[in-house]
């Protein structure tokens, strides 16, 4: 249904728009009887004040913050990371009566266009930004728009935006050491899109840790976080003449898809293939065998980044903060390398 306007109320009450404005805003200019009649009609029509309109008129706050997610929409609804992140942000905002405006886009240019529209229309008071990119234009763009922002990621490349970041390299090193201790030497990292800064950071940490551990068959391949792409990548890796004995995925969706492909191709997990997922979730715990994963407090990160933005909007100085590193949760998808299986594979 169309949102009722002041003009609708004026027509129903048989008065001018000015009289309705006086009544709704508690200003003198109408009798008490007319004021009550106008307020009753406004209530019957379901009229509510427009926060953006009030903000434009008074130069105040609209009571909403924005989050743009530039990810494939086909997978976003089932990706636990963003569901947990939004849950954390919403939990924190609801306590203060602030709304979250969520927008899904398909490319970086569209995301920038959303920020420009939100700023020009005063749709939000500030934004939470995610997925920092290499040479990311967004920090400079939101500063130029005068749009307060807090970044989940960084700190490198964030400019002077306050950010909540995690040292992913320590978790990567832990995973590599763990797999090496199980006897794995041919390990492949199935990472996210190469334009993301955290993909670059994790990839560099993986290669350095693999070199130190003597994993001569270790390398990285890029995917896009979707289950479909994760399945295709896994199928290609497992069909190779010398297939890996361990796969480390950059998110849980790809790892679950990879587990399914292994079963499809008759590769036993974990005796022939070990699998590790980034970002522990219910998906990792529900599949069989359950997936070894790096767990992070994503809900807590959402709450923290919302608090940081709230303080920024209050005019307080907000410094970047480092969150705790992820923890490795070993489960049924990882195990010692079985030499007999590897020999059988390479002789095929």
* Whole-number average pLDDT of the chain: 90
> With 90 as the cut, is the pLDDT of residue 251 above it?
yes
Rounded mean pLDDT, 22-35 = 85
Q: Give per-residue pLDDT as tens, 254-286.
A: 999 999 999 999 999 999 999 999 999 999 999
pLDDT of residue 30: 85
> With 50 as the cut, is the pLDDT of residue 348 above it?
no
Crossing angle for the helix pair 227-238 and 252-264, to the nearest 10 degrees: 40
- The secondary structure of 280-329, three-state, reads CCHHHHHCCCCCEEEECCHHHHHHHHHHHHHHHHCCCCCCCEECCCCEEE
Signed CA dihedral, 69, 72, 77, 80: sign only: negative
pLDDT of residue 345: 42
- Alpha carbon 250 to its chain centroid, in Å, reads 13
> With 50 as the cut, is the pLDDT of residue 129 above it?
yes
> With 90 as the cut, is the pLDDT of residue 292 above it?
yes
> With 50 as the cut, is the pLDDT of residue 47 above it?
yes
Rounded mean pLDDT, 94-119 = 92
Strands 292-295 and 327-329: antiparallel
Residue 4 pLDDT class (50, 70, 90 cuts): confident
- The two tokens of residue 254 are 């790809």
| Peptide bond just before 85 cis, omega within 30 deg | no
> With 90 as the cut, is the pLDDT of residue 71 above it?
no
Burial class (CB in 10 A: 0-12, 13-18, 19+), 177: middle
Strand order from edge to edge, sheet including 126-130: 99-105, 64-70, 126-130, 149-152, 163-165, 321-322
Least confident stretch, 66-80, 124-138, 235-249, 298-312:
66-80
Dihedral, CA of residue 155, residue 329, residue 128 and residue 132, to nearest 10: 40
Identify any residues that bridge with 65 across adjacent strands, giving them in sequence order: 100, 126
Rounded mean pLDDT, 229-240 = 97
Rounded mean pLDDT, 118-142 = 94
**In terms of Cα–Cα distance, which of 114, 108, 167 is closest to 145?**
114
* Phi and psi based region of residue 32 (left: phi greater than 0; alpha: psi -120 to 50; beta: remaining): alpha
Residue pair 171/204 in contact (Cβ under 8 Å)? The answer is no
Rounded mean pLDDT, 147-156 = 93
Rounded mean pLDDT, 188-199 = 95
Other C-beta atoms within 10 Å of 155: how many?
16
pLDDT of residue 61: 82
The dihedrals phi and psi of 130, each to the nearest 5 degrees, come to: -130, 170
> With 60 as the cut, is the pLDDT of residue 206 above it?
yes
Task: Tell me which long-range contacts 148-151 makes (C-beta under 8 A, separation of at least 24).
Answer: 148/309, 148/312, 148/313, 149/309, 150/126, 150/305, 150/308, 150/309, 150/312, 150/318
> Residues of the chain with pLDDT > 90: what percent?
71
pLDDT of residue 50: 64
pLDDT of residue 347: 39
Q: Give per-residue pLDDT as tens, 154-187.
A: 888 888 899 999 999 999 999 999 999 999 999 9
> Residues of the chain with pLDDT > 70: what percent?
92
- The two tokens of residue 70 are 């530039």
pLDDT of residue 247: 98
The dihedrals phi and psi of 321, each to the nearest 5 degrees, come to: -130, 145
Other C-beta atoms within 10 Å of 126: how many?
19
> With 60 as the cut, is the pLDDT of residue 341 above it?
no
The dihedrals phi and psi of 70, each to the nearest 5 degrees, come to: -100, 75
Which pTM value belongs to this model? 0.81
- The two tokens of residue 297 are 């407090």
Helix or strand holding residue 101 (H, E): strand 99-105
Q: Please list, in sequence order, all residues whose beta carbon lies within 8 angstroms of the beta carbon of residue 178, skipping any fewer than 6 positions away.
A: 328, 330, 334
Most distant CA pair in the chain: distance in Å? 95
């Amino acid at each position: 249904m169309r949102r009722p306007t002041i003009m609708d109320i004026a027509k129903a009450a048989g008065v001018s728009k000015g009289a309705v404005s006086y009544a709704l805003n508690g200003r003198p200019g109408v009798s008490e009887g007319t004021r009550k009649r106008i307020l009753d009609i406004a209530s019957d029509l379901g009229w509510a004040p427009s926060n953006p309109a009030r903000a434009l008129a008074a130069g105040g706050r609209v009571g909403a913050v924005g989050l743009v997610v530039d990810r494939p929409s086909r997978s976003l609804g089932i990706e636990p990371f963003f569901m947990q992140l939004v849950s954390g942000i919403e939990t924190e905002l609801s306590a203060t009566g602030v709304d979250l405006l969520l927008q899904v886009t398909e490319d970086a240019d569209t995301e920038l266009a959303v920020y420009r529209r939100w700023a020009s229309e005063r749709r939000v008071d500030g934004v939470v930004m995610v997925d920092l990119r290499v040479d990311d234009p967004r920090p400079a763009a939101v500063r130029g728009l005068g749009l307060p922002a807090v970044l989940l990621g960084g700190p490198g490349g964030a400019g002077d935006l306050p950010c909540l970041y995690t040292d992913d390299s320590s978790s990567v090193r832990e995973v590599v050491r763990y797999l090496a201790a199980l006897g794995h030497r041919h390990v492949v990292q199935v990472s996210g899109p190469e334009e993301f800064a955290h993909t670059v950071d994790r990839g560099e940490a993986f290669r350095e840790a693999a070199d130190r551990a003597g994993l001569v068959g270790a390398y990285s391949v890029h995917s896009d976080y979707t289950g479909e792409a994760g399945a295709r990548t896994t199928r290609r890796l497992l069909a190779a003449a010398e297939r890996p004995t361990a796969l480390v995925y950059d998110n849980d969706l790809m790892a679950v898809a990879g587990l399914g492909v292994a079963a499809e191709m008759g590769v036993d997990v974990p005796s022939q293939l070990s699998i590790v997922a980034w970002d522990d979730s219910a998906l990792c715990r529900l599949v069989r065998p359950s997936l070894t994963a790096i767990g992070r407090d994503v809900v807590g990160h959402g709450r923290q980044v919302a608090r940081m933005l709230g303080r920024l909007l209050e005019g307080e100085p907000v410094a970047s903060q480092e969150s705790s590193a992820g923890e490795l949760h070993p489960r049924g998808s990882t195990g010692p390398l079985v030499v007999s299986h590897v020999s059988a594979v390479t002789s095929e």
